[in-house]
């Protein structure tokens, strides 16, 4: 019996590194929800086991759109979420979330796609369009509204068809639309198939666009596990380093999950991922990606975007600026950068 106890003790010492982590203690388990999109660092982190290296053990849930994801947040079925402008609806419905950091500026990959027979050469010609595809409650609808303002036409004058970008190809082929605002990777995909992107969002939206994609968490979960914010940023940083060393891991990650050709996957990464906001920009009060200023940056983007979504009748009322400001917390980003050794 004494010999058996000694053997068990040895076995336990061998097992312990597996069930603990570099942070100390057992890995933190949580539910992670995200919409179907080109979440490069998230997918790379999954493929390379980076969450485990940061002492995290997430269970992943993929949602086809923002609506079921919001329901999951509201029911507290997920603890951490990565999504785009759908967070505006969460705030509008008083669903508590805390945005921790940017994943990407999706405006860099969103643009005006047209049929070659439409006679539309840029966003300035959009008044010629008969029917324009733009999904309600999305960055595409916001962008189309801004084009209308710049043209002096007004959004209400457009004949808008409420369809998402993944359905544009069939809509073009059936002549259901002759123009549309498509987001990544579908903008790039359509462009390779002869439906040209004639203008990108940067031509008609404010600096930095109005299509932020961020990672957020439930405030109650953050309070119970305050270490999660910095650990998620550790994962994000490790994924960025892995992509910088070998961009192919990013190409393979989104090609596999979104069923893209390698060429479309690479073009998507070049256009969106390689232009993602830096951590320094997220903390810079003067940056369009700032998370530290209440009157600009991410907060200002959400204020303007929700006003537009209200004007287009996608939400019942604008989200108060104070609610948006309270939902953005750069604390964990500051802690993460402070913990990094100086170079």
Q: Quote the pLDDT of residue 9.
A: 36
Q: Quote the pLDDT of residue 6.
A: 40
Output the furthest CA–CA distance in the chain (Å, rounded): 87
Q: Quote the pLDDT of residue 82.
A: 96
Q: Kindly state the average pLDDT of the residues 158-169.
A: 94
pLDDT tens for 235-254 read 999 999 999 999 999 999 99
The count of other CB atoms within 10 Å of the CB of residue 337 is 16
Residue ranges covered by each domain of the chain = 20-106+211-339, 111-203
CA distance 14 to 104: 41
Q: Quote the pLDDT of residue 24.
A: 57
Distances (CA, A) of 174 to 90, 167, 170, 323: 35, 11, 6, 43
pLDDT tens for 254-293 read 999 999 999 999 999 999 999 999 999 999 999 999 999 9
Tokens at 87, concatenated: 């967070």
The answer, yes or no, to whether residue 19 has pLDDT greater than 60, is no
Q: Kindly state the average pLDDT of the residues 107-131.
A: 95
The confidence band for 342, taking pLDDT boundaries of 50, 70 and 90, is low
| 3-state secondary structure (DSSP) of residue 214 | strand
Lateral strand order in the sheet of 179-182: 160-161, 132-133, 179-182, 111-114, 197-200
Average pLDDT, the chain: 90
Percentage of the chain with pLDDT > 90?
A: 85
CATH number of the 20-106+211-339 domain: 3.40.190.10
| End-to-end Cα spacing for the chain | 54
Architecture in CATH of 111-203? 3-Layer(aba) Sandwich (3.40)
CA distance 194 to 201: 19
Same CATH topology for 20-106+211-339 and 111-203: the answer is: yes
């Amino acid at each position: 019996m004494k010999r058996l106890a000694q053997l068990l003790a040895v076995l336990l010492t061998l097992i312990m590194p597996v069930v603990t982590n570099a942070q100390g203690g057992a890995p933190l388990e949580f539910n992670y929800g995200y919409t179907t999109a080109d979440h490069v660092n998230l997918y790379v982190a999954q493929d390379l086991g980076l969450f485990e290296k940061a002492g995290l053990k997430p269970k992943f849930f993929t949602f086809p759109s923002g609506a079921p994801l919001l329901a999951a947040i509201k029911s507290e079925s997920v603890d951490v979420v990565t999504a785009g402008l759908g967070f505006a609806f969460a705030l509008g419905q008083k669903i508590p979330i805390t945005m921790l950091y940017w994943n990407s500026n999706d405006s860099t990959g969103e643009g005006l796609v047209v049929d070659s027979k439409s006679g539309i050469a840029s966003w300035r010609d959009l008044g010629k369009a008969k029917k324009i595809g733009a999904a309600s409650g999305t960055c595409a609808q916001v962008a189309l509204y801004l084009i209308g303002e710049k043209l002096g036409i007004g959004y209400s004058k457009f004949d808008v068809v409420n369809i998402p970008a993944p359905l544009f190809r069939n809509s073009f082929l059936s002549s259901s639309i002759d123009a549309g605002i498509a987001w990544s990777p579908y903008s790039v995909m359509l462009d390779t198939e002869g439906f040209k992107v004639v203008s990108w969002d940067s031509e008609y939206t404010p600096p930095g666009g109005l299509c932020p994609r961020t990672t957020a968490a439930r405030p109650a979960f953050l309070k119970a596990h305050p270490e999660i914010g910095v650990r998620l940023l550790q994962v994000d940083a490790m994924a960025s380093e892995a992509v910088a060393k070998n961009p192919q891991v990013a190409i393979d990650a989104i090609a596999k999950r979104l069923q893209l050709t390698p060429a479309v996957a690479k073009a998507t990464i070049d256009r969106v991922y390689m232009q993602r906001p830096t951590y320094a920009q997220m903390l810079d009060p003067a940056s369009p990606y700032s998370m530290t200023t209440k009157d600009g940056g991410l907060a200002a983007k959400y204020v303007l975007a929700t006003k537009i979504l209200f004007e287009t009748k996608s939400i019942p009322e604008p989200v108060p600026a104070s609610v948006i400001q309270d939902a953005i917390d750069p604390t964990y980003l500051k802690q993460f950068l402070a913990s990094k050794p100086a170079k």
